[in-house]
C-alpha cells in the first residue's frame, strides 16, 4: 500500500484530486468508482476547481457510486444521488447518463443489485475506486461480518453506522436501516483503489486495517491483498 501523508482535510482533497485527474487524463474512457460521506468532500471541491480552471474534462468519464440508502428518494437531500449531483456532477461536464448510483427505491432491490453489477460489467472495469473508511472498518456499506466475495447487495446498516450518519438527518428514526452497496468482491476488482481516511477518531481502525489480521470482521483489511492501493491520510501511521 502506498501511503501519502497530508496535514489536513484540505490537503487530502488536493492530493486526491491530483491522482483522480491524472487517471482521467491517462484514459480515453475513464471509469471511476466514487464514495460519499464527509471525507471526499474536499476531493470533489478540488475536482470542480480544476474543471472550472480548464484543467480537466469529465466528458468521457463514467462513474459508479458505492452505495445508496434504501427508501430515500433521489431528490431527498439525504440521498447519495442528491449528494453527488450537488457536490460534484452538477458542477462539471460529466454526462448525467454516465453517472450511476444504485436505486434505493427500486421495487425489487435484489434485481436492482444484479442490474447494477451488470452495468459495471458492461462498462468494463472500474479504473480507480475512491473509498472512505467507516469507524467500524466498513468500506461502501459492507459492515463487519460481510463475506469478502459479496457482489452488490442489500445490507442492514449497523447501529454504529446509523449513529455515525445521524448527523445528516433530523432525528435518529429518520436514518435508514438498509442500504444497497457494491460488495467487497466488486470493489476488489477495481484496477486501483484510492483510500481516503481523515481525522484522529479513525486512527485506531486504520491501524487495524493496515497492520491487523485480514478478517471479515474488519472489512477494509482485505485491501492488504489488493495490489494497487494508495492511502491518503492525515493520521500518523
Residues whose CB is less than 8 angstroms from the CB of residue 135 and which lie 6 or more positions away in sequence, other chains included: 160, 164, 201, 202, 205
* Contact call for residue 175 and ligand F6R (CB under 6 A): no
When the beta carbons of 30 and 140 are compared against ligand F6R, the nearer one is: 140
When the beta carbons of 104 and 140 are compared against ligand F6R, the nearer one is: 140
Least distance to ligand F6R, CB of residue 165, Å: 7
When the beta carbons of 38 and 230 are compared against ligand F6R, the nearer one is: 38
* Residue 67 annotated to the active site: yes
Give 68-71 contacts, CB < 8 A, sequence gap 24+.
Answer: 68/101, 68/102, 68/103, 68/104, 68/179, 68/180, 69/104, 69/176, 69/178, 69/179, 70/104, 70/105, 70/109, 70/154, 70/176, 70/177, 70/178, 70/179, 70/180, 71/104, 71/105, 71/176, 71/178
* Residue 110 annotated to the active site: no
Select the residue interacting with ligand F6R from 33, 102, 104, 140 (CB under 6 A).
140
Interface map 14-43 toward ligand F6R (x if CB under 6 A): ---------------------xxxxx----
Question: 145 burial class (0-12, 13-18, 19+ CB within 10 angstroms)?
Answer: exposed
φ, ψ at 132 (rounded to 5°): -100, 180
CA distances, 89 to each of 42, 84, 92 (Å): 14, 6, 6
Indicate which residue of 67, 68, 112, 127 is catalytic: 67
Q: Name the residue number minimizing CB distance to ligand F6R.
A: 132
* Residue 138 annotated to the active site: yes
Select the residue interacting with ligand F6R from 138, 153, 180, 209 (CB under 6 A).
138
* Contact call for residue 152 and ligand F6R (CB under 6 A): no
When the beta carbons of 60 and 148 are compared against ligand F6R, the nearer one is: 148
Indicate which residue of 45, 98, 103, 136 is catalytic: 136
Least distance to ligand F6R, CB of residue 56, Å: 22
* Residue 136 annotated to the active site: yes
* Contact call for residue 67 and ligand F6R (CB under 6 A): yes
Confirm if 3 and 178 have CB atoms less than 8 A apart: no
* Contact call for residue 219 and ligand F6R (CB under 6 A): no
What is the number of other CB atoms lying within 10 angstroms of the CB of residue 201?
10
* Contact call for residue 78 and ligand F6R (CB under 6 A): no
Residues near ligand F6R (CB under 6 A) are 35-39, 66-67, 132-134, 138-141
Amino acid at each position: 500500500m502506498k501511503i501519502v501523508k497530508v496535514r489536513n482535510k484540505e490537503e487530502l482533497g488536493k492530493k486526491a484530486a491530483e491522482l483522480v485527474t491524472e487517471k482521467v487524463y491517462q484514459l480515453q474512457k475513464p471509469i471511476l468508482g466514487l464514495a460519499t460521506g464527509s471525507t471526499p468532500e474536499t476531493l470533489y471541491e478540488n475536482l470542480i476547481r480544476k474543471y472550472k480552471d480548464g484543467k480537466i474534462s469529465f466528458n468521457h468519464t463514467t462513474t459508479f457510486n458505492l452505495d445508496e440508502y434504501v427508501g430515500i428518494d433521489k431528490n431527498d437531500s439525504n440521498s447519495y444521488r442528491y449528494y453527488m449531483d450537488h457536490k460534484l456532477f452538477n458542477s462539471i461536464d460529466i454526462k448525467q447518463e454516465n453517472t450511476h448510483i444504485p436505486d434505493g427505491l427500486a421495487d425489487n432491490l435484489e434485481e436492482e443489485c444484479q442490474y447494477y453489477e451488470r452495468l459495471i460489467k458492461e462498462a468494463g472495469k472500474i479504473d480507480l475506486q475512491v473509498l472512505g473508511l467507516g469507524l467500524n472498518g466498513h468500506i461502501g456499506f459492507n459492515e463487519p461480518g460481510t463475506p469478502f466475495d459479496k457482489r452488490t447487495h442489500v445490507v442492514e446498516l449497523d447501529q454504529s453506522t446509523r449513529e455515525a450518519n445521524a448527523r445528516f438527518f433530523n432525528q435518529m428514526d429518520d436514518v435508514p436501516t438498509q442500504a444497497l452497496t457494491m460488495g467487497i468482491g466488486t470493489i476488489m476488482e477495481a484496477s486501483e483503489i484510492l483510500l481516503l481516511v481523515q481525522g484522529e477518531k479513525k486512527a485506531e481502525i486504520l491501524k487495524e486495517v493496515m497492520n491487523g489480521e485480514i478478517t471479515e470482521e474488519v472489512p477494509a483489511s482485505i485491501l492488504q491483498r489488493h495490489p494497487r492501493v494508495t492511502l491518503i491520510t492525515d493520521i500518523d501511521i
